[in-house]
Structure 1
Amino acid sequence: MKKAYFLVLFVAISLVAAKAQNIQLHYDFGESRKLATATIEMFKPDKYGSTFFFVDMDFGGTNGTPVADFVGERTNNMNLAYFEIARGFKFWEAPIEMTVEYNGGFLRDASAGGYPLSTAYLAGPSYTMNSKDWSKVLTFKALYKQSVNVNNIEGFGYNNVQFTAVWVLNFFDNKFTATGFADWWTEKVPVNGAYIPGLNEETASSVFLTEPQFWYNFNKNFSLGSEIEISNNFALNKGWMVNPTVAAKYTF
């Protein structure tokens, strides 16, 4: 079953990569990370709205996750795959889009074999501001969020609201690019969820995550830069965390 899953995942990633806008390779210097992440990303506007997706694949680290004490031994395999896709629909002149989004993934755990990451479905309005050539884009979203109890954990799974900002900003004749997103949402965690280090005695009432990226573009295809993940109560970690990377990007 696991072999079939990874075969499907490999085929899906290969098909996505064929049409991706860029591919990134990051090395994460964060505490208990020390892993590589490959990212496939695309943003494409059209006359009916816009499409954005990314796929993250973690290699190495302690099973490729920030919850090192939970999953155990170190490995060089691909241990995490995470996917988000958002489609904005706009068939009218007003600058408001209606957005639908899916988030989900899979984590390999040396002790348990593997399990799906939290799956979420989101929908709501978004507002985009952009320059005429789309070199500068800023989008705000207010989304209804339905998280699914994929791991059969009592008390997990909830309805809520997520606020999101996404930006792509090019400067100095496209030599410098700043991109990223910021998410804020609330979620509940099982009070006795022993699988969550640092959170087994209480619930996390809110989660914040932002991942600004900064790129120097040597030409239209190749870039070097960094991503800084700044989070609060994110990915099973209590409190604030800052995880910087050094990265290379190839844009198609």
Structure 2
Amino acid sequence: MVSWDPHGVERLESIRDSLVKVGLTDFVREAAAEVWRANRDRHEPEELFDNALTLGVQSTINLANRVFAHVSGSTRWLSAGVRASREHTATVLHVGGLDIRLVKAPHRAGRRPNFVTDFDWHNREARQSAAARNHAAYGPPARRPDMETLFEVDHPGAEQAAQRCRDVFLVWGAELASGLTAGWLGLPTTSANRWLAVTPSWWDEPSPAAVTTDSNGPLPGEGPAFGDKPAPKPAITLKPRREEGNAQ
């Protein structure tokens, strides 16, 4: 398991609480679930030669556009202190002095991404710039070869420095088979480990009534499993195939 920077975790937990309070977590979670549901329904590997790339890219663009359309110019979100801007094809949410970018976890990872190895923003200018700003605001001490975990050595003013990290990635992942989604908040940095800290934001359960927007879901780690909680086993229904004579 990765040992995240404790001051970074504390910063993210405070951010998570503020996003839940303003309603932004539920809004993004619901938008992600609806976008993923719609794209799963029209996903046709055999007939249209769709693959993981088309599904992931389409969902990423759809979610960015949906969030921007609903937040931009909305009196509800304006009164809550939330606004949205465009960054190329991406959407950036601005609230409480934070810049929040939506990041899709790799399709192959589903809802269990490896946060150390599954993300890389060296070739993504906007994300790399965000990571560099966090690193400049709070550059943790370099890890020595004899250190067993990350960020073991504290440095003066670390708690206050972590508060200056204002670039946040809201990572979301989804499963093709179940349609369930999950979300995490992360503070990106330019170190080899990519993140200063990551914390859960939401974790869908098979029953919509059981959806949580707190830290009860699996913790982000470096392996394929996050803790001892077994993955949910929802009932899966298959779409009926269209007969060739009725295809449009």
TM-score, reference length from structure 1: 0.32
Decide which structure has greater strand share.
Answer: 1
User: What is the TM-score with the length of structure 2 in the denominator?
Assistant: 0.32
